[in-house]
Structure 1
Amino acid sequence: MANRHFLTLLDFTPSELEMLMNRAIELKAMQHRGEIYEPLKNKVLGMIFEKSSTRTRVSFEAGIAQLGGQAIFLSSRDTQLGRGEPIEDSAKVLSRMCDIIMIRTFGHDIVETFAENSRVPVINALTDDYHPCQLLADMQTYQEHRGSIQGKTVVWVGDGNNMCHSYINAARQWDFKLVVNCPEGFDPLPELLNDNKDRVRIVRDTKEAAKDAHLLVTDVWASMGQEEEQKAREKVFKDYQVSPAIMDLAHKDAIFMHCLPAHRGEEISHDMLDDPRAVVWDEAENRLHAQKALMEYLLASE
């Protein structure tokens, strides 16, 4: 298991992902009981941020601290990466100084190139194409509230973005059905749809898509880097809002998730996060515990 990376959900087997989810639940219970557990004492996590963050930074930094290690925060302003140093060179140097590295950046090719040149495990903490760490937290949250997601129906509402792509991979790895509810012109990657056509389908109408769903998930209409498209996207996505009325069309045990930050009055109604079916605060906390399980596992061989 030496020098494994976590760039997408497909880097791990379904059984490994199930193990990570259960371990995250266990680590969460330990932390809530106040137990001190420091298997990563003296380990250093390098955190490279080319995209800003709240939950990702805090969850990784708090997570490595709770496991006994330390984190070094590196923004593009703080490193030679931001001044044009080749990714390969940065990876070769930083991986000689850190025990594990997470990257939050733009192109997915950046984390792939970094991992190819790293001596230590590399974690994708978000790219324009995938956000696998969020899916670890989401799957943990569903398990805690409703049990196994296998065989259930999940509805993704909104843009076919990095979160949508990771939900497609999750449908494959956790064996559930996924309905992608997006407007024309905003579909997820065609190759992902084609590779998973046995379990993923597109439905344009939100009310139709929501029928009998067990989990509804959405994200902001304009992701980071798309701010200049905000006004145009508001027009295109105006009918793609999750509200209590939409949730009423879903299965009686349905729950709602959002990776946050949320824009009330846009992708969700003003009252959606106050609805008892919304589990977004548990979902947000679970980023911490899921990533602790992930770091523990990636460093286990050492």
Structure 2
Amino acid sequence: MEALKGRDLLSLADLNAEEIQGLLHLATQLKSGEVKLRCNKVLGLLFYKASTRTRVSFSVAMYQLGGQVIDLNPNVTQVSRGEPLADTARVLDRYLDIMAIRTFDQRDLEAFASYAKIPVINALSDLEHPCQVLADLLTVQECFGSLAGLTLTYLGDGNNMANSLMLGCALMGMNVRIATPPEYEPDISILEQARAIAAGRSEVMVTNDAKAAVSGAQVLYTDVWASMGQEDSADARIPIFQPYQVNDQLLKGAAKNAIVLHCLPAHRDEEITDAVIEGSQSRVWDQAENRMHAQKALLVSLLGAD
């Protein structure tokens, strides 16, 4: 994965299919212990949003590679007092080897990366969540052996997960169907980008019909109905999103060997029922573990091994 060394990952579209497949292969090798790599570098985490899986998985991945992690909590650094992003980026660039940033506006990530020479990773923005999708693709590949030709259906809010799933599936030759209530569809520019990537080789569909979207799908995927920063609208969204709940009845319409994914945290019996997330078709816990393995592969690819 020498081609990735020194690069940023701000969007899943920053990668091509060969690079994603290379990351998945390396993640599989690292997970099994077939390959052991060392990377004695320092990772900085600058998270403006709450995080459990992303924070811990990045930290453990870096520690297992032999590196170190500095948690740059915005509340206890000068960014909370209005230090310009450009100044912060140029200083941290001289201290750290790589940065993972979780923020609201995608433009802040892009600005930080423009001022820093070190690799910058999008650890979640309101537009995309590329690291999650790398783990999702790894999980699907573990279950089905390959990705091309499979159909993934995402149900719920057309949020950052929907955006990155469209890009990731299109890149890997998977069909992707996004089922949302009217007026909650994913970003139109990302949809057009995903369709351009798919170039007719696979399907990129957005629909308001949940039942049609799950028909024959091998992967059902959901996320919370109100993302971080939208908590005030959470209760009002429940009746609107109820037809998109991943439950036993909806699951019956999917392929018999279908698996269920959720990026977590889950609001049980809202977007997904307790019975489904704890059921035999759920791969949610494997998916969560794979965050660490996929990000370990990403870190060592962007930084290079010692």
For normalisation by structure 2, the TM-score amounts to 0.94
Gaps of 5+ in 2: none
In structure 2, the partner of 1:79 is 77
Deviation per residue, 1:97-122 (Å, 9 max, x gap): 00111001110001111111112101
After superposition, give the CA deviation of every residue in 1:134-165 in whole Å (9 maximum; x if it has no partner).
Answer: 00000000111111111111101000000000
Aligned to 1:139: 137
Q: Any conservation in 2 of the 1:38–1:66 contact (CA below 8 Å)?
A: no
* Aligned position for 2:180: 182
Contact kept, 8 Å, 2:43 with 2:100, in 1: the verdict is yes
User: Take 1:253 and 1:270, find their aligned partners in 2: how far apart are those partners?
Assistant: 19
CA distance in 2, matches of 1:17, 1:89: 32
User: 1:202 corresponds to which letter in structure 2?
Assistant: V
Report the equivalent of 2:64: 66
Matched, 1:40 2:39: yes
Aligned counterpart for 1:220 among listed residues 219, 224, 227: 224
Partner of residue 17, structure 1: 20
User: Alpha carbons of 1:265 and 1:80: their partners in 2 closer, same or farther (altered >3 Å)?
Assistant: same
Superposition RMSD in Å: 1.5
- The Cα shift of 1:38 comes to 5.0
- Cross-structure match for 1:261: 265
Query: Are residue 29 (structure 1) and residue 32 (structure 2) matched?
Result: yes
Q: How many residues align?
A: 297
Output the CA distance in 1 between the equivalents of 2:142 and 2:77: 39
Write the deviation string for residues 32-77 of structure 1: whole angstroms up to 9, x where unpaired. x8x8x45112x10000010010001110110100000000001110
CA distance in 2 between counterparts of 1:264 and 1:103 reads 28
In the alignment, structure 1 segments of 5+ residues that lack a partner are: none
Distance 1:277 1:238 in 2: 21
By how many angstroms is 1:245 displaced? 2.1
Q: Which residue of 1 aligns with 2:205?
A: 201
Give the aligned partner of residue 105 of structure 1.
103
Tell me the distance in 2 between the aligned counterparts of 1:196 and 1:144: 24
Distance of 1:200 and 1:244 partners within structure 2 = 25
Deviation at 1:301, TM superposition (A): 7.8
Identity of aligned residues (%): 44
After superposition, give the CA deviation of every residue in 1:243-273 in whole Å (9 maximum; x if it has no partner): 1221111111211100000011100012111
Which is further off, 267-276 or 49-58?
A: 267-276
Is this contact kept in 1: 2:39–2:304, CA < 8 A?
no
Give the distance between the partners of 1:289 and 1:301, measured in 2 at CA: 15
Structure 1 residue aligned with 2:9? 6
Q: Deviations over 1:7-28 (max 9, x none)?
A: 1111112101100001101101
Q: Distance in 2 between matches of 1:126 and 1:103?
A: 7
Tell me how far apart the structure 2 counterparts of residues 203 and 193 of structure 1 sit (CA, whole Å).
Answer: 12
Give the aligned residue type for 1:280: V
Could you tell me whether the CA contact under 8 Å between 1:151 and 1:177 is conserved in 2? yes
